[in-house]
Amino acid sequence: MNLVSTITGLPYVGKTTLFNLLTGGHAATGAFAGAEAETNVGVAKVPDARVDRLSALYAPKKTTYAEVTYRDLGLAHSAQQHQGGPSAQKLGDLRTSDAILHVVRAFRDASVPHVDATVDPVRDLASIELELLIADHAVVEKRLERIEPELRAAKGAEREARERERSVLRKAMTSLEAETPLRDLALDEEERRAVRGYRFLTLLPQLVVANVDEADVAGAEAVLAPLRAAAAAHRHESVVAVCAKLEAEIADLEPEEAGAFRRDLGVTEPALHRVIRATYDLLGLVSFFTVGSDEVRAWTIPAGTQAPAAAGAIHSDLERGFIRAEVIEWDRLLEAGSEANAKKRGVVRTEGRDYVVKDGDVLHVLFNV
């Protein structure tokens, strides 16, 4: 699956700095750089030590990591008079995302201006959230008006579908009027389907990235506690801290120097890794692998996916003609040293259509079309 995560947030909070870090890009940064600019788009490889280890074992022609597409799209809030709120086009771009990566400024550095004069991450989080609530509210309001004449004209199954839609929209309206994002509504599968086409913004999972000061990277908890509390009030929302400026400096170093620098700071891994992993966790995604001398590759599926659908992530033929899958956990394969040896040891399992693929499984799909 091709995941799209959109980086958003107020002006000058470090969105483009983070975007460059995640995607290895070189988009222009600096306060005011992106306020009116185009949306940057780039791809991040999902770092995965398991892929590295499997690749070392197979020495394949090609090693393919999972990927996440990141977009960098700034939003102003309505109270900023010179901006007049987010444009319809930007909101439209946001609607086609799988997740929102909301950057909030926690760094104090007075040399970078703040649109609301003071540094207050919890306030900023709420102010962008409010723009998204307003945008969804406008969609629901318009649709509720139009659905009435449609309902009067509709019959049978069509009428039932419209009635279901109206009932979900009314629930959504109540939620939005209480300034509660739609992801907090416990919609069942049928209700979700009824409103899927509207691509509500507050239905998207949200990863909050607190861009902290250099001084706070090792002990970011004090800065994070109020943000975590704000995020914990909602479903499908979580918080990670990074210091984008520092990470950008480290990214320019040679790997050895970078490692030593990180150790001095007490940071164990690049922010990139934590941000991407948090995105996966938030979206409930897992990885499985395929291996061979041609290619070692990671594939992304929602947790709980059964073997045929997982095979379909590789190719639709594999889903259509699915017979069975040979499965082994990635670390057991490494222990065994080869598939042949793993089979001899009896650690390769044969699984059928009902098997739920686990994070870290190595799959070999047998199929017939």
d(CA 193, CA 158): 15
Min separation Cβ 318 and ligand GTP, Å: 41
Shortest separation between residue 35's beta carbon and ligand GTP, angstroms: 5
Would you say 112 or 265 has its CB closer to ligand GTP? 112
**Nearest to ligand GTP of 112, 147 (CB atom):** 112
Structure letter (DSSP) for residue 106: -
Dist CA 294 CA 60 (whole Å): 5
Residue 284, Cβ neighbours under 10 Å: how many? 12
4 is a contact residue toward ligand GTP (CB under 6 A)? no
Q: Pick from 9, 14, 34, 308: which binds Mg ion (CB under 5 A)? A: 34
Q: Give the Cβ contact number of residue 346 at 10 Å.
A: 7
**For 77, how many CA atoms within 13 A lie in the half-sphere containing its CB?**
19
Q: What is the DSSP string of 253-314?
A: S-HHHHHHHHHHHT--S-HHHHHHHHHHHHHTEEEEEE--SSEEEEEEEETT-BHHHHHHHH
Smallest distance from Mg ion to CB 65, Å: 26
Single out the segment in contact with Mg ion by CB under 5 A; choices: 16-24, 100-108, 313-321, 325-333: 16-24
107 binds, among ligand GTP, Mg ion, none (CB under 5 to 8 A by kind): ligand GTP
C-beta closer to ligand GTP: residue 125 or 172? 125
Position 17 contacts ligand GTP (CB under 6 A): yes
Alpha helices in 154-208 (DSSP H): 156-177, 189-195
Residue 117 beta carbon to Mg ion: minimum distance, rounded to whole angstroms: 20
Measure the CA–CA gap between 244 and 210, rounded to whole angstroms. 9
272 sits near ligand GTP (criterion: CB under 6 A): no
Do residues 106 and 119 make contact, with C-beta atoms less than 8 angstroms apart?
Answer: yes
| Contacts (CB under 6 A) with ligand GTP, residues 94-113 | 107, 109, 112
Determine if 121 is a binding residue for ligand GTP (CB under 6 A): no
Distance set, CA 144 to CA 76, 136, 148, 170, 233 (Å): 28, 12, 7, 8, 28
Kindly state the smallest distance separating residue 105's Cβ from Mg ion, in Å: 12
- Work out whether 16 is an interface residue with Mg ion (CB under 5 A): yes
- Asked if 312 is part of the footprint of Mg ion (rule: CB under 5 A), the reply reads no
CA of 290: how far to CAs of 58, 162, 269, 332, in Å?
11, 44, 26, 14
Q: Applying CB under 6 A, what is the total number of residues that bind ligand GTP? A: 22
Does 22 help bind ligand GTP (rule: CB under 6 A)?
no
> Is residue 30 near ligand GTP by the rule CB under 6 A?
yes
Binding residues for Mg ion (CB under 5 A) = 15-16, 34
Binding residues for ligand GTP (CB under 6 A) = 11-17, 29-35, 74, 107, 109, 112, 211, 243-245
